[in-house]
Amino acid sequence: IGHYMRNNYRIVKFIVNNVANDKEEQEKIKETTGREPIIDDKRYYFGMLRSQWSNAEFELILVNSLYTENHKFKELILKHDVLDMEETNNIQASPEVFKLKESMDKFKAYRKLIEISK
């Protein structure tokens, strides 16, 4: 399943590198990569990707990203909330803090591996 995980990582990386939230981010990405990203909602594209996954694939992708060798995928998943797991009720949460939604109870066994706190 390594090829499947690499494919999902590349899709997420493509979305991150080619979709900007606003003009400022568009210019930053263009300066960094030399590519002209579109301005749109990354959440929409992550949602399209997630809609292709079964529950088993969803969990498999999460567990695979926790493997030390796959730290880049985990960083993308957490930074951009690709799996739509982040608790967003706390508006003042800093980017260094990541807490699972209560509805993500199927991942409680992984909570300590996923959550980031100061």
> What per-residue confidence (pLDDT) applies to 117?
54
Q: How many residues does the chain have?
A: 118
> What per-residue confidence (pLDDT) applies to 14?
92
Helices and strands of the chain, counted as H and E runs: 6, 2
Query: In this structure, what DSSP letter does residue 17 have?
Result: H
> Average pLDDT in the 14-42 region?
88
Pairwise CA distance, residues 91 & 113, whole Å = 23
* Distance set, CA 43 to CA 19, 21, 36, 61 (Å): 10, 10, 19, 18
- Of the candidate ranges 23-37, 39-53, 82-96, 101-115, the one whose mean pLDDT is the lowest: 82-96
The residue to which tokens 């899709």 are assigned: 11
Confidence of residue 110 (pLDDT cuts 50, 70, 90): confident
> Of 93, 99, 70, 94, which Cα lies nearest the Cα of 12?
70
> What per-residue confidence (pLDDT) applies to 91?
46
Tens digit of pLDDT for each residue in 56-92? 888 888 888 888 888 898 888 888 888 877 666 554 4
Would you call 28 helix, strand, or coil by DSSP? Answer: helix
The answer to whether the pTM exceeds 0.75 is: no
Residue 79: half-sphere exposure toward Cβ, Cα within 13 Å: 10
